[in-house]
Amino acid sequence: MKKALTSGLAGAAALAGAAFAEPADRAAVEKVLSTYETALNAKDVETIIALYADDGVFMPQHSSPQVGRAAVREAYRRVFAAITLDIEFHVDEIEPLSATWAFARTRSEGQVTVNATGQSAGEANQELFLFRRTDDGKWKIARYIFSTTNPPRQ
Amino acid sequence: MKKALTSGLAGAAALAGAAFAEPADRAAVEKVLSTYETALNAKDVETIIALYADDGVFMPQHSSPQVGRAAVREAYRRVFAAITLDIEFHVDEIEPLSATWAFARTRSEGQVTVNATGQSAGEANQELFLFRRTDDGKWKIARYIFSTTNPPRQ
């Protein structure tokens, strides 16, 4: 019975997919975040888009939600046409939610420069990322929202 | 063997907790959202706090993340001291992530009144909620962030 139960558990695990693997899956999620940081500062739209799931949703402040890769790509193009970022992310937490889902809560800080004027200002945001592991084992950004932590402009 | 495998699967399901149940768990999450909407408009801090997990995190715009119930309570008190809301939520999606996690992506729209001046303005936000099912079967807000979808103030 013990053996049969073990087989059953293994079968269930196979059906559900492997569990979130420490430290490999966590490292993979961290790698997505660091790649995102670098690509954001480099205005590298295609690298960013490759980090998103096909049906990923980007929820930038001052914009309605951008659903799916084509809309997400256009949104980043608009952002990079308007501003240049020089920011660093700090990871507050990365938590597995299941074998195929995880979230990260982060903060970011640095400088934003308005391209049209050359004017720079301090930028500080908080972010919530939902990641999904795709069938080929890659972790992708499924949902992403941020908001400023700076006080309101007077 | 088939029977033993089935028992094993049942054992695994028991270990993992029951799966996300449709429509009951979805309805429970929807109920948290509608209770939140009503309490937000009524400035009902204690009802809101009861919707949060003990270690819940509230990430209001223009504020650093508020971690844990005591900090979340103080944050809502500050919000309600400053503004009065009259808003409605629209649910774009509720998705289960596991037996004990789900997320909701919503938008909200209505009026915000600045208490100090009585001045009202249109309010429009997008939100991402992470919900966790506690051991007693209740769905709680584990993480919550929003950002405005209005254009930047000029």
pLDDT higher than 90, residue A12: no
- HSE-up of residue B64 (Cα within 13 Å, Cβ side): 6
- Say whether A101 and B97 touch across the interface (CB within 8 A): yes
- Say whether B8 and A13 touch across the interface (CB within 8 A): no
Q: Considering the entire predicted model, what is its pTM?
A: 0.89
* For helices A2-16 and B2-16, angle between their N-to-C axes, nearest 10 degrees: 60
Q: How many CB atoms lie within 10 A of CB B103?
A: 23
Report chain B's C-alpha Rg in angstroms: 18
Could you give the CA distance from residue B4 to residue A1 in angstroms, rounded to a whole number? 7
DSSP, residue by residue, B15-31: HH-PPPPTTHHHHHHHH
Cis peptide bond prior to A152, omega within 30° of 0: no
Tell me: the pLDDT tens digits for B52-110?
Answer: 999 999 999 999 999 999 999 999 999 999 999 999 999 999 999 999 999 999 999 99
Could you give the CA distance from residue A23 to residue A93 in angstroms, rounded to a whole number? 14
Which chain A residues are closer than 8 Å to B15 by Cβ?
Answer: 9
Which chain A residues are closer than 8 Å to B4 by Cβ?
Answer: 1, 4-5, 7-8
**How many cross-chain Cβ pairs, A to B, lie less than 8 Å apart?**
126
Q: pLDDT confidence of A17, banded at 50, 70, 90?
A: low
Tell me: the pLDDT tens digits for A74-88?
Answer: 999 999 999 999 999
Q: The tokens 């000029």 sit on which residue?
A: B154
- Say whether A151 and B98 touch across the interface (CB within 8 A): no
Which chain A residues are closer than 8 Å to B62 by Cβ?
Answer: 147-152
* Sheet (strand B120-133) strand order: B66-67, B52-59, B139-148, B120-133, B101-114, B83-96
Q: Collapsing DSSP states into helix, strand and coil, what is residue A63? A: coil
